[in-house]
Structure 1
Amino acid sequence: MSLDGLIYTYMACLTNKERRSLEKQGIEVPKKVKSPSFDYISFLKNLNYDGLISSLFHLGCNDGIYKKNDSFNIMLPALLEILANRDFALQSLELKNHDRRGDWDNEFMHLVDRKIRPLIKPVKKIYLDCNVLDPRFLPLLSSQCQRVRHLYIVMHVEKSKKGSIICERDATYYADLIEKQKSLEILAIEKFIKYFESILPSFKTQVHSLRVIEFINSDFKECESLEAIANCENLQRLIFRGCSNLSTKILRPLFNANFPKLQEIFFESSERNEDIEIWIRKFNAIH
């Protein structure tokens, strides 16, 4: 479905009351829209927020140049409010902004507005791939989304024209997001290269629920220890994919840990470490 098509499909699913609400806010709603066979809004399970923004943003395209306009600024919060008032349980939320140009803080703040809380509160999975955000965003997300079972975080700490993407303050917000979950089962962190001392302790709040821990394309040079994982009594899968600088010192607490339910250790690295290889061989010998 095209970007425009996504919005027009949503438009076709609106009730008369919802259409009038948009019209009162200055949004021109097509008078003749063929209603689809299904009410697609009611079946919405995954919200790709980047896709939604792109669809609305595309409507403001002029000769290939994208710009925010009054229609965009009204339509986004209005459509979110309509979704929040629908009786359905959103299962997953994809948040991505790192490859966007310009300031998108307002667009993300709409999502954590109190009127939108019924929409995002039930989510069980969050994919978070963001760089610079309004400092209020992550604390509000943590306070509203506390039933997450699967959390995937991409850490953007590389340098850019804006400077360091994620600062230590943001790292504490990520830690708080982990700590606030009632029963987190799957935790994946990509590009984890800094702020280990801020984030790793939060793992201890989920030691009874975590079943899968995955690190992807991460550099552990600044990490002191992975002791925070050692007491995850229900851990089933421990994955290091494309990681570097995993020393014996960092992993030693895991060598000595008792993981009664562990089924898989996956270790992918260009560096050889005899102690790690012995640990994995011993594990494979009894599983």
Structure 2
Amino acid sequence: MANRLPRECLEEIFHILEYEKSTLHSCLLVNRSWCISVIRFLWKRPFQLAKKPCSDIIEIYISFFSPIVKNYLLSEGVNIPLNDTTKIFDYPSFIRDFRFDDLYESTSAWLQEEYEKGRQIRHDLVMFDDLRIVKLIVNELVKLLFSKTRILESLSLNTQRLIGLIDRRFWSHHPGDIQYTPTSFEEFRSAYGFDDLLQIPNYPGANNCLVHLQKFEYGGDATDGKIMQVLSEVSQNLNTLEISFSSWQRRHADPQMMLSLLTAQHALHRVILRRGGSNCLPILIGGLSTQASSLNHLEFIGADFRISVSLTPLVICVNLQTLVFERCLGLNDDIVEPLAFATFKKLKKFVFRKSVGFRDLRTILAPPSVVPITGNHIQGNVNVIGPVLRGIPPISSALLTSTSTYSPPSSSSSSSSSSSSSTTSDHPLARMIQNTCGSLKDIRLGRKVWNVRRPLGLISRGVGDFPPSSILSTLSITCPYLVKLETHTSREIFPQLLILLNNCQLLQQLHISVGTELMDDEQFWKRVSRAFPPKLKNLMVVIEGTFWLMVIHWLLGNCKAPLEVLQFPRSSCIDDEYLCLITQYAEVIGTLKKLILARRTRVSNEGLRRALIVFESVSRGGEVVIEYDN
């Protein structure tokens, strides 16, 4: 049967399995036809399938050096075997995903092994001789790969970590008779750094393969940043562009070089910006307008918006499907205000987590009642829960006992809800969510970070430990198709959270963090558990302070959702007693398969063994995000 499959069908199958190394290795042994087809996938991105760093891959690549290159390296003091054994396959020609850092680290590992085996002579009297040799070999390997491959799909020139490694070598092993001056350090950088990357487009065959480049990742200093300006003339069909800035780098690449690459693209779909500040963000964000018609994925990770950065250019990117702000600084109301006028009707995923902004004096000076409960059936009743939850009548029996059946809202009701919420959604992000017209399926508003000390305990509107009530109210009205939700909850926004859970009947994944004021509140845990949507599969709970054993009773004893995954990734206090109770409830629920605990717990091996009788797996590796079909 295997012999009858056409080669095209085999390649489609292997494409699906291209990250399954063991499966691909097994396919090598079926027959010659399978071997020829599968070898291309094993060597398409070899470093990703191997344990890093991998000196064996370097050994194979070096064997493809021409006699001229081998003699050149020999003249430079590098011993390269001169055997002419013919390889069955031309392995360098198969590479499609090239990562410079993988090549550099694996070459360093190869050289160290050569030293240990006595094949290379270590010149201890020559300072940094190993860095010189690694640089020579890497340069020749880059030339080899670019001359052999016809198509390069992905190129990563992120050298930030490597720059840090060689810089530490300078400061820790610098000979005492040489002055520690900026001049000598720059000379060191020039000798052992990565300026040669600028020559990549000039290597034989480079232009031919770079034309097909779909993904480019950059992270380096001011010198090798010029590569982006060079690539802008060759690689104009990028699908994904990732730019990483370093917080410790003294000099960054000229943002105009980055802009030239960004604006040269015909139809860029994904842009990811890591870190970066006011000297570059305004320029790059402004350049996004040139990709407005094609851009559907945008991420800001660790970016600094604190000085004069405007998000106005994002408003015209109407085809965005994913928008992420992760661990950003300075995202105050004025910065995010332009998003209130955006109409992201295709937006499916919105992340605004662990991002801290400036303190908003308008909020600090306002009275406590400034935070409204709006956009829902309890509008205007601020004290709906009261000082404490215990002893207070339920919010609404209709809300807490809503049926599990779900019917999409009619157009008339949607329009009336939209008009109602338009007058109450005062926060810019709430208005942005409202304008998505129900397209959102995944929203992550972040969990509380308790090891961050906030000055004076003041929390700015929209960027505190929990989202404004207007955001949750807007979600409950305009986003009934939510599949994933992550948020921190407090007594202040608990009513909106309950309404959101009751309205979003399609929710499958819920990640919540709970503050000290609610951690031992019986009524809170029971009410939120009863409000779990009927399709909820993945529940993560992060609790500030003490995780009482009774919380498990209140949470799981009232749960009717068909949970499959239960996570307590920060609760290191869990021991065998906790685990035994969780296991008993897992038997009652009947659908739980996976339990994920903190990296460090008090669970014994015997307790783990007993839990595995009920659970398919119990892991202690921290939190896990499971992708469900939307």
Same fold (TM over 0.5): yes
The offset of 1:131, in angstroms, is 2.1
CA offsets 1:98-145 (integer angstroms, 9 cap, x no match): 232333243212323253322333221112121232464331122222
Judged with a 3 Å threshold, the aligned counterparts in structure 2 of structure 1 residues 81 and 224 are, in CA distance, closer, same or farther, namely closer
Among 41, 55, 58, the residue aligned to 1:7:
58
Among 190, 210, 226, the residue aligned to 2:274:
190
What is the match of residue 345 of structure 2? 260
CA offsets 1:4-45 (integer angstroms, 9 cap, x no match): 322211134x3xxx6345346455652447666654323212
Among 91, 111, 125, the residue aligned to 1:40:
91
Q: Which moved more, 1:57-66 or 1:182-191?
A: 57-66
Q: SS at 1:67's partner residue?
A: helix
Structure 2's unaligned 5+ residue stretches are: 1-50, 113-121, 167-188, 361-425, 434-470, 480-630
C-alpha distance in structure 2 between counterparts of 1:113 and 1:26, whole Å: 21
Judged with a 3 Å threshold, the aligned counterparts in structure 2 of structure 1 residues 149 and 241 are, in CA distance, closer, same or farther, namely same
The offset of 1:72, in angstroms, is 5.3
What is the match of residue 152 of structure 2? 90
Contact 2:338–2:428 under 8 Å retained in 1: no
Structure 2 counterparts to residues 132-171 of structure 1, below 5 A: 132-134=222-224, 136-156=226-246, 158=247, 164-166=250-252, 170-171=254-255
1:22 aligns with 2:65: no
1:210 aligns with 2:295: yes
Among 419, 424, 430, the residue aligned to 1:278:
430
Contact 1:94–1:126 under 8 Å retained in 2: yes
C-alpha distance in structure 2 between counterparts of 1:119 and 1:75, whole Å: 21
C-alpha distance in structure 1 between counterparts of 2:199 and 2:110, whole Å: 19
1:200 aligns with 2:285: yes
Contact 1:60–1:66 under 8 Å retained in 2: no
Contact 1:92–1:126 under 8 Å retained in 2: yes
Judged with a 3 Å threshold, the aligned counterparts in structure 2 of structure 1 residues 81 and 277 are, in CA distance, closer, same or farther, namely closer
C-alpha distance in structure 1 between counterparts of 2:478 and 2:84, whole Å: 63
Judged with a 3 Å threshold, the aligned counterparts in structure 2 of structure 1 residues 10 and 284 are, in CA distance, closer, same or farther, namely farther
Q: Which moved more, 1:198-207 or 1:112-121?
A: 112-121
Contact 2:258–2:284 under 8 Å retained in 1: yes
Q: Which amino acid aligns with 1:82?
A: L
Q: Which amino acid aligns with 1:108?
A: L
C-alpha distance in structure 1 between counterparts of 2:310 and 2:225, whole Å: 29
What is the match of residue 526 of structure 2? none
Contact 2:195–2:223 under 8 Å retained in 1: no
Contact 1:244–1:269 under 8 Å retained in 2: no
Scaled by the length of structure 2, what TM-score is found? Answer: 0.40
Structure 2 counterparts to residues 168-187 of structure 1, below 5 A: 170-187=254-271
The offset of 1:54, in angstroms, is 3.4
Q: Which amino acid aligns with 2:252?
A: I
The offset of 1:165, in angstroms, is 2.0
C-alpha distance in structure 1 between counterparts of 2:135 and 2:128, whole Å: 17
C-alpha distance in structure 2 between counterparts of 1:228 and 1:283, whole Å: 25
Among 208, 213, 216, the residue aligned to 1:123:
213
Scaled by the length of structure 1, what TM-score is found? Answer: 0.81
Q: SS at 2:195's partner residue?
A: helix
Judged with a 3 Å threshold, the aligned counterparts in structure 2 of structure 1 residues 111 and 152 are, in CA distance, closer, same or farther, namely same
Q: Could you say which structure has the greater relative contact order, defined with CA pairs below 8 angstroms and 6 or more residues apart?
A: 1
Contact 2:70–2:82 under 8 Å retained in 1: no
Contact 1:192–1:215 under 8 Å retained in 2: no
C-alpha distance in structure 2 between counterparts of 1:58 and 1:113, whole Å: 28
1:109 aligns with 2:198: yes
Q: Which moved more, 1:50-59 or 1:186-195?
A: 50-59
1:231 aligns with 2:321: no
Q: Which amino acid aligns with 2:153?
A: Q
Q: Which amino acid aligns with 2:154?
A: S
CA offsets 1:146-169 (integer angstroms, 9 cap, x no match): 21111111123x455xxx3216xx
C-alpha distance in structure 2 between counterparts of 1:87 and 1:60, whole Å: 25
Q: SS at 2:196's partner residue?
A: helix
Q: SS at 2:316's partner residue?
A: coil
Judged with a 3 Å threshold, the aligned counterparts in structure 2 of structure 1 residues 84 and 134 are, in CA distance, closer, same or farther, namely closer
C-alpha distance in structure 2 between counterparts of 1:36 and 1:23, whole Å: 17
Aligned pair count?
276
Q: SS at 1:194's partner residue?
A: coil
Judged with a 3 Å threshold, the aligned counterparts in structure 2 of structure 1 residues 134 and 11 are, in CA distance, closer, same or farther, namely closer
Judged with a 3 Å threshold, the aligned counterparts in structure 2 of structure 1 residues 65 and 250 are, in CA distance, closer, same or farther, namely same
The offset of 1:284, in angstroms, is 6.3
C-alpha distance in structure 1 between counterparts of 2:306 and 2:329, whole Å: 8
